[in-house]
Every structure is written in structure tokens, then in C-alpha cells.
Structure 1
Amino acid sequence: MTFARSFYVAASAAALLSSSPTMGQCDRWQQWIQVALTVDLDVQTHRFTGTESLRYTNNSPDTIQELWFHLYFNAFRPGSEMDVRSRTISDPDPRVGSRIAALAPEEQGELRVGSMTQAGKAVRLEHLGTVLRARLASAIPPGSTGEVELLFSGQVPVQVRRSGRNNVEGVAYSMAQWYPKVAAYDARGWHAEPYVGREFYGEWGNYNLEISLDSSYTVAATGVLQNPEEVGHGYAPEQARVRGGDGRTQWHFRADSVHDVAWVADQEFAQITAQVPNGPLLRFFFQDTPELRAEWEQLPAHMVRSFQFMSEQFGRYPWSEYTIAQGGDGGMEYPMLTLITGKRKLGSLVGVSVHESVHSWYYGVLASDEGHFPWMDEGFTEYAGSKVMQHLFGGTAIRTPAHMKVIAR
């Protein structure tokens, strides 16, 4: 099947599905949020405190009486639903298994909202494992906006799945799904399912993120850094490192029109950049060893071509920056950012970077419900990613001899 025809078939299938009676989009609406987050991380204890200001615009036809939040870090505690499921299902994720059950108290995850207020009035909270129910002091009618203020605290777990500290390659902090994240609300209601290790779904919004931690750490995050001259660390070319007056640095990132924020931090990160013509600035963060540098320095040229191809064939990448950073486990996409394990040969490094960056279109731009409709992000990402790899290395499919030859390097 030719590229044009195969793309037409895939697009037609999506259009037919979205226009079916059960999935009609005639009365489509979606909520909108504005989030200001601050977090202060103690790298000695791996504990953090934070604040969250959430402005919630209700574009639904329903009156919102309560808000639901995800508290994902609570999954990494013995006895959690994720722990029990991982130990009892017939086909457990080998990356999890019984690892959560074996975590010592100082290794476990924790996320708790200490208080929430709305216009100065206390909001009643109910912690339910990995979700939080907040009964609002004042309802938010259709077409109106409400604002709540949160104080939260937690502990970064030893990395088990996706997020956490000290991953298998020694990256210090992979901070994904780390804050009280308001659950998505759509025509099917609230999506506040307990977290058992699956993927995600969030509301569109603008985020301001301020991170404070020891100045020896380099941070990469969703969004665009607002204070590069203050922090240095490769963001301001003439300043490799800048230390705060108390040995701490505050990083300020802003991300507009995204549905999540994540970040990663390590003391050994090097940063290199590449500009996509008429496209985003690409940033790459990796632990600066001779072995990794030899592979990672070849990655930008491939990713520039990948972004050019995707923008030409599947639509323009809409943000000004994109970051690929070493961290997490395997590879996982977040808005404007992906975390990947980085100790790879070039072919594998390109392959995982292409796949995760293509998720910026199929998840990042679409903001699809990855939990209920995984085909919408993984299916289209596999299809588009195979076309990118074909463009980069030749052949007719992702597993071409040319591609496999590169991976084997």
C-alpha cells in the first residue's frame, strides 16, 4: 500500500469512528485549566513540599460540585492496588512484579494534599489511595470558573515504573505524575480511576512550574525555561552553572496548551541542542560519559529529520521546544518531553526517540484517553513512526534490514 493510500485509509477509519452514533462529536466540549505549581525538593531525604493554584473553567453543561485528583505516587506503596494487581494477575509487568511490596518506608512513594481552599473556605478532602475527592465549598456552574489552592507534600519513590528516583541507569529524579493532577471530566463523567500502572488522560491547560532544589542538579522539563540566565546549566551558553545564594536554584518553566507536566533532574547531565528548520528547538539531556556522548551526539541530526518529516506529512509540531532526556524506564511520552533509558547503541536510541516523539502528535496534540482508547495513541504512533524510520533508513517497514543493521551497531 502506498504512503498516500495507507494514510488515507487510516485517516478515514479515524473519521468514521469519530462520526459514529456512539462517538459523535457534534456537542463536543472540553474543560480548561490554568495551573501554577511550586515544588521544593530535599535531595537528602527525597521528600518534597509544594503548592498548586488551579483555575478550573467548566465548559461542560453540568454543574461541578466536586473535583477529583490523581495522587499517582501513592501507587508505589505496599498494599496499593497497583502492588496487589502486579502480584496477582496472570501476566504481570516484569518491571513491577513484587517490587512495590518490597519497598522499605524510606523507598516508598507518597503524595498527600494537606489542605485545599476555595475563596478562603476550606474544601473537604477524602484521600482514597491514588485518588482524592474534593467537595467544593462553592459549585462551578456551566460556563464559569472556580479556583482552588492546594498545599501538598510527598516522597519520591525508588523508581519502579516510569517515575521515581535512582533509575536503573542512575538518573537521580524522573518526576512524572508527581503532583495532584486534576482528573479529566468529559461526556462520560470523571476519569479518576485508581492507578494500576496504565497510561494517562488529562485536561488541556496552561502551566507555570517552579522547581527549587540543590544547585548541582540540571533540570529538564515540560515547557520553556523562563530564567535561563539565572540557572545556567547549558540553557545560557555563557554560563555552564550558576549556584543560588543558599546552594539552591529555582527553575521556572512555562508550558501553554498542554495536558500534563513532567521533569527530570541529575547532577551529571550534559545538554546539547539542535534547531529544526521552521520548527522547534530540540534539547537533549544525558549523563556525560564518553560512551553515552559518542551515541547521543549523533542523535540530533536524526531527530531534526524526524521532526521535519512528521511536520510535513502529519501536521506541524505546535510548540517551540521539545526535549529528549535520559530517565525513567524504557521510554515514555509527556507533553514537550520524553524520558528514555539512554545507554543504547545509536539505532536503538533513534528508534525509541522517534517513537516517543511521534507521541507528541498522537497523544500530545490529540490529548486522547490513553487508558480507554490505547489504539488512538499507540496505533497511530506505530504507523507514523514506521514511516519516519523508513524515511531515515530506507526500506518498506520499521523492521527493514537497513533499520536492523543500524540497531545492531
Structure 2
Amino acid sequence: MCTCLLLTTAAASLAQTSYDPRLTFAPVTLPDPVNAYRSSNGAPGPSYWQNEASYELHASLDTQAKQLTTTETITYTNNSPDTLPSLWIQLEQNIYRKDSRGQILFGSFMRRRRNNPTPSATPENINTDGYILDSVEIESGKQATKADYIVPKYIIDDTRMQIRLAQPLKPHGDKLKIHIQYHYQIPGVWGGRTSWGMSKQGEIYDMAQWYPRMCVYDDLRGWDTLPYIGSEFYLEYGNFDYYVTVPSNMIVAGSGELMNPKDVLTKTEIDRLDQARNSDKTVYIRTTADVTDPASRPKQGGTLTWHFHMDHTRDVAWSASPVFVWDAARINLPDGKKSLAMSVYPPESVGPEAWDKSTEYVKDTVEHFSKQWYPYPWPAAINVAGFSTGMEYPGIVFDGIPDHGDFLFWVTAHEIGHDWFPMIVGSNERRHAFMDEGFNTFIDIDESATYAGGKFGPKRDSEYSAGGEPPDTILKVLDNPDAPTLMATADSYGFALGHPVSYFKGAYGMVLLREQILGPDRFDWAFRKYIHDWAYKHPSPSDFFREMQSEGGEDLGWFWQGWYLNNWKYDVAVDKIEGPAVTLSNRGQLVLPTTVEVTFADGTKTRTKLPVETWLSKGTYTWTLENKTPIVSVVVDPDHQLPDDDRSNNVKKVQ
């Protein structure tokens, strides 16, 4: 009877306050369980496996018809323990079809991303027919079979294609080749992430999502076949050889390394490129004057084929234009390794605070992230000024022709930062955008704070400003009953909530972990290990949570619960001051380590940092100070580092 009475009394006491420690500190079951594939410490398990997709692509650009024609060979290796009776392939150009899910659901994803409308971008012609597949063949052993009969055959559904195999693909390393011949109409500027547009002096083609790409088959879901309706990508890793045939007056910038410079560059350009490989200062490969000089191309008329190669990557993209200015500089990597920072842009982008600085920004960003987090692995990092602005692919990013000043720095650092998340650490952007945009925003604000002594810091559109309050966008997310959690599937919430949730709340969570919860030393150690363990692999949020918790040395279930699985509010108040005793209350459901500052009548101050365990069993806490000097005031979170939902109750003064 006594025990029951005590429990009832405790429950009644808890019910009187909005904060319930039983919710905050409840045991957390993460979405993906521990098993032989994914370990309890957050690292890949002893039986972790991953399939592989390598590509050989021969593409031809028809600038008159605005069409790309390609012959593709995919070498697909089944490293899984499962026999695969079919294969799934992404056909992302199909989003531009009138009947695509993206068009129907969002009134056109392309309209939302259109940024520099041209006369061709009208409501009547912002569609294409998507991929036109001229042939699909399966090569297994020495036999090639067309995939257009009963078995094997292929079916197309929206932005996916399934190939049903006559002979299932065996587990543990069996492989086959898929041969696809296709063509498609290149979207205009309205295409967003892939497009062609007219700069002041000539066309620019930004070519991304330009080939059918294997869906991921993993240990979490089997085939992950979420359609492409706006959110980004989830791809397998492999090696790429790709050949791009374009008019001879064009410069092509592409992911990876240019393998045949003697075929597509003049001797002067080759010499300048060699000079850039050994220069920390930007070297012009092709100047503004060269753009109008026919001698800057090795051939007049006809076409040239550019050959690029890239290993251990999940994707490649490229850009082509006859009006590109091109510059480059050496990137210095850890352990004495080198890479190459490059920029291509039209003459109208030239300027001392504009694209003249792009390569310097790329170089500094890659060097900083390589030293701080994980060495950059690829032979080049390229920034392109075109019409598919603010978009990233391995080793190459697309930014805006008019970008300049602090914005050009910020967008360059952000897009280049995506080479780490999700290009090196291959998370599933279509499901978990915070592991892509949030992690990257977190590291790019650090680049803003360090470049040129903080010339472009703090980055004001990020999750917080040093010494200032978190932006209203964070608190609006926490206060908005319709806002999704960070764990929501990326396509499940509208464009207006995309930045506040995925970018800002995602990044602010990392700042809280580093600066308030673990501290820089523990956080950096744990986050570097996470990156190293999952480089070129597919982590889930559960893997990240477990690794940060295990290596950070802190049980963080309360934080995963409050910040990621829910949108709980943080609100700590000063209730009363009675002599040397200060009573505080937790009025939100989220807990965080909280700094409290006391000012005494003699002008001295003292601070304490209340650990989260302060709220382990109750929502109030009385702090009795040893200093008996009269208290003048008490302030919660005096430096405004926490997302306090109501700052009006953070300060109490003794009258």
C-alpha cells in the first residue's frame, strides 16, 4: 500500500508540470537494429557488404537539337548474400515528363528550381519525354541478351526501371553488364539541376543525372526505389570512364581526371595546366581574351572527344561551353598529396570580387576540410558558373553566373563541402536530408569562420550567429505543430520547410553536440571516426547516433529523442531567488547542458553549467550558492547559445 501511494503521489506531482522526465530519458530504440552488418559502436559490422556499380559512357552532345545521345555499359557486382532475380535502375530524366510524379505532386519540381528564366521557359514547354531507351541488353558471361522479351525484360515506372533477369544474379561477387543506348532532350534553364542556357556570349550546358544509374540494394531495405520527385540521391560506388563528344570550340569540365589533354587542349593550355598543378596562386588556363580567339582551340570545326576517369565515386557530372574562362591552382592535401582546384565561368562572371576568386575559395575549402575531417580523395575539385546553380556532384559543383562577394564564397564552400557529405560518406539523401545538408552546413560555417581570418564569418544564414541568438527559423520549426522531425523522409515536407529543418536544425544539432554537449575534443574525435568508418559506404541515422555516442563517451539517447526523433522545445526559467538559493524550472521537454550566471551585489559573477542529469527525475532544481554575498540577478544561457523558446523567463533580478 505504501509503495503504491508513493508512486501515485509522484505521478500526480509530475502531472502538474509540462516537463516529464520519463519521456525525455525514456530508453530509445533506434530505427535500424544492430546486427552483423551494423555494429553497436556505430561502425560497419564484420559482415557489412555493399554492391558495386561501375560505368563506361560514350556521350555525344548535339547543340542544335539540344539532345544528348549515349551508349552506356554498367558493370554491376552483387556482393550481397542474396540472389537477385531483377535489377532496379534510376531514370531521373523522366521527372521532366508531363506524367511524372514530381510534376503531378509539386506542380513541377522544375518550376520551383527555375532561377534564370529564358524565353524558352514557358508553361507550355517545361517538359521533355525523359529518357528514350533505344536498346537495353544484359551481358552475362559471354552472352548478351536484349531485355525486351518476356524474360529478361524491362519495365519503366516513373523514374525507375526494373530489369527482370532470365538468370538471377548470384550472391557474393557475381556480376553482369547492362548495355543501354539512349537519348534525351536536354531541359532548358527550367531544368534546375541539369540544363542548358544562354550566357551573354554563348551557351552553357550543365549535364547532371545524364545517364541511367543503379538503385542501391542494401541490408536495410533491399532495393531502395524511392522515386525522384525532388529530393536528391542514393547511389552505389564504382569506377567511371566517360567520353564526351562536343563541338570542337567547347571547353568541358568534368568530374575526375582529364585523360587525353593532348587531344582536346592546345600546347599553351597544357603548359598552363602543368604550371597550375605546382602553383598555390591561381593560373589562367584560358583567359577572357582566349574565349574569342580561335587559336585557343586545337581544332576548327567538327567535334572533339573529352575522356575523363574517376575511381571510387558514386556519380559524375560535367559542363560544356564555348565561352568558358578557365583557371586552376594546386590543392595541398595531408601526407603530401595534391589535387587541383579549378573554375570555369563565362566572361561576364569575371571580377576581382567575383569568379576571379572562385578557385581560391575552392582550394581553401578543400584544404581546410581535408585537414579538419577527411582527406579529399579525387584529382580535381571544380566550380562551374552556369544555370544549374547551387548543386553538387562528386568533384564538381554548379553555381551562379552573377554570384560574387560573400555569397560566392558561402555557396562555393557549401557546395564543395558536399564532397564530404554525401559524396564521400554516402548517406541516403532521399530519406535523410539532415545527414547531407545538415552535416554539410555544419562544416561550411566553420570554413566561413576560418577563411582569411573570418572575412566571411559568421555565416548568417546558418544555424546560429556567434554571440547572438539562434535564428527565428529554428524556433519556428520547434513551435510549428506541422513541422516534420529531422527523421522525416526528405520529400515528405514542402520546400519552405526544407532549409529550416534539414539545413539549419540539422546543423544546429551538430553545433549543440560539439559546443555544448560533448565539447570539441570528444566531438571531433567521434565525428572523424564516423567519417573514416563510413567513407564510400552507406550509413543510416542509427549508425551516426551510435558512433557519436560510443566514441563521444556519452549516453545521448535524450538528445536523439528530443532533437531528431521529435521537435521538443527547450525552455529553462529562473523561478525565484531566496537568499543564496536560486530555483530554476525546465518548462520544455528538451534538455540540454545549461549555463547559469549569477551576478552579486559587489559586481562579481559566477557561472555553473547544469548537466542534463539535473532534470533526470524532476522539472525543478534549487541551486544553493556557497557565496553568501547578496544576489543581484540570475541569467540562464547568458551567451544565447541554446534554442530557448522563451527568453522572457531567462532573467530574474532581485528588487
State the TM-score bracket (shorter-chain normalisation): 0.7 to 0.9
The answer to whether 1:352 aligns with 2:392 is no
Residues 45-98 of structure 1: CA deviation (Å, up to 9, x unaligned): 012221111111111111122111111112112232111112299xx973369x
| Structure 2 CA distance for partners of 1:20 and 1:379, relative to 1, 3 Å | farther
Distance 1:370 1:168, change over 3 A: farther
Larger Rg: 2
Residue pair 1:223, 1:336 contacting (<8 A) in 2 also: yes
TM-score by length of 2: 0.54
Q: 8 Å contact 1:83–1:100 — kept in the other structure?
A: no
Deviation per CA, 1:132-174, whole angstroms, max 9, x where unpaired?
Answer: 1111232210121111211111111113221122178875211
Q: Which amino acid aligns with 1:153?
A: H
Q: Does 1:94 align with 2:115?
A: no
Which residue of structure 1 lines up, in the alignment, with residue 555 of structure 2?
none
Q: Find 2:104's aligned residue among 80, 84, 95.
A: 84
Q: Which of 184, 187, 197 is the matching residue for 1:166? A: 197
Gapped regions of structure 2 (runs ≥ 5): 1-28, 148-152, 273-294, 467-655
Alpha-carbon distance in 1 for matches of 2:448, 2:31: 28
CA contact (8 A) 2:206 2:388 kept: no
Whichever residue aligns with residue 225 of structure 2, its letter is A
**1:149 aligned onto 2:179:** yes
1:63–1:80 CA distance, 2 compared to 1 (3 A): same
**Aligned residue number for residue 128 of structure 1:** 157
Q: CA RMSD in A?
A: 2.9
1:20: Cα distance to partner?
A: 5.7
Name the structure 2 match of 1:10.
none
Deviates more, 1:233-242 or 1:273-282: 233-242
- Per the alignment, residue 244 of structure 2 pairs with 211
Indicate the SS of the match to 1:120. strand
1:364 counterpart SS class: helix
Is the 2:353–2:404 Cα contact (8 Å) retained in structure 1?
Answer: no
In structure 2, what is the Cα distance between the partners aligned to 1:177 and 1:292?
31
Contact in 2 for aligned 1:113/1:180 (Cα 8 Å): no
Worse-matched range after superposition: 62-71 or 390-399: 390-399
1:145 and 1:290, CA in 2 relative to 1: closer, same or farther beyond 3 A?
Answer: closer
Distance in 1 between the 2:399 and 2:210 partners? 17
Q: Give the AA of the match of 2:113.
A: R
Tell me the residue number matched to 2:638: none
TM-score (norm 1): 0.85
Greater per-residue strand proportion: 1
2:534 counterpart residue number: none
- CA–CA distance in structure 2, aligned partners of residues 284 and 247 of structure 1: 26
Looking at structure 2, the residues matched to 366 and 38 of structure 1 have their Cα atoms a distance apart, in angstroms, of 28
> Is 1:201–1:371's contact at 8 Å kept on the other side of the alignment?
yes
State whether residues 34 and 206 of structure 1, in contact with CA within 8 Å, keep that contact through their aligned partners in structure 2.
yes
Equivalents in 2 of 1:17, 1:393: separation in Å?
41
1:202 partner SS: coil
One-letter identity of the residue aligned with 1:102: P
SS of the aligned residue for 1:280 comes to: strand
Pair 1:168–1:110, CA change in 2 (3 A): farther
Match of 1:377 among 429, 436, 441: 436
The correspondence for 1:320, drawn from 376, 379, 383, is 379
SS at 1:230's partner residue?
helix
Equivalents in 1 of 2:96, 2:326: separation in Å? 30
- In structure 2, how many angstroms separate the alpha carbons of the residues matched to 1:198 and 1:290? 29
Is the partner of 2:263 in helix, strand or coil?
helix
Deviates more, 1:133-142 or 1:162-171: 162-171
1:17 positional shift? 7.2
* Cα distance in structure 1, aligned partners of 2:332 and 2:227: 42
User: Does the CA-based 8 Å contact 1:86-1:93 persist in structure 2?
Assistant: no
- Asked if residue 225 in structure 1 is aligned to residue 258 in structure 2, the reply is yes
Contact 1:66 1:133 in 2 (8 A): yes
Contact 2:59 2:70 in 1 (8 A): yes
1:30 aligns with 2:50: yes
2:299 pairs with 1:243: yes
> Which has more helix, going by share of residues?
2
The alignment partner of 1:74 has SS state of: helix
Choose the corresponding residue for 2:330, options 275, 279, 283.
275
Tell me which residue corresponds to 2:320: 265
User: Contact between 2:121 and 2:188, CA under 8 Å: does it hold in 1?
Assistant: no
Pair 1:50-2:70 in alignment? yes
> Closer, same or farther in 2 for the Cα pair 1:288/1:210, shift >3 Å?
same
Separation in structure 1 between the aligned mates of residue 189 and residue 358 of structure 2, nearest angstrom: 26
Q: Which runs of 5+ in 1 are unaligned?
A: 1-15, 402-409
Structure 1 match to 2:420: 361
Query: How many residues end up aligned between the 2 structures?
Result: 382
| Corresponding position of 2:576 | none
Q: What code does the residue aligned with 2:78 have?
A: N
